[in-house]
Amino acid sequence: MKNRLKVLRAERDWTQARLASELEVSRQTVNAIETGKFDPSLPLAFRIARLFGQAIEEIFTDGEEA
């Protein structure tokens, strides 16, 4: 699944460690999500969306959309 997490994090000038702290996950989890190696659980996706004030669909896509 593709995502805009790295872009959103960079816009706030946050490190992966800072984002991980905000989401209460490990930095390795943030890295895995950003690189597409791990898809977040639905509750985590909702926490990410709330943190950035966006809908889940604005952050995550299935990669088939243009």
The answer to whether residue 65 sits within a structural domain is: no
The answer to whether residue 10 sits within a structural domain is: yes
Domain count, the chain: 1
The answer to whether residue 41 sits within a structural domain is: yes
Give me 63's structure tokens: 């990669």
CA distances from 59 to 7, 52 (A): 10, 9
The residue-averaged pLDDT of 50-65 equals 90
- Label residue 5 by pLDDT band (50, 70, 90): very high
The answer to whether residue 12 sits within a structural domain is: yes
The answer to whether residue 49 sits within a structural domain is: yes
Enumerate the β-bridge partners of residue 3: 60
The answer to whether residue 45 sits within a structural domain is: yes
The secondary structure of 16-48 as a DSSP string is: HHHHHHHHTS-HHHHHHHHTTS-PPPHHHHHHH
The answer to whether residue 64 sits within a structural domain is: no
Query: Domain of 20: which CATH number?
Result: 1.10.260.40
The radius of gyration computed from the CA coordinates of the chain, to the nearest angstrom, equals 11
Q: State the residue range of the domain holding 11.
A: 2-58
**Does the pLDDT of residue 63 top 90, yes or no?**
no
Stated pTM of the model:
0.89
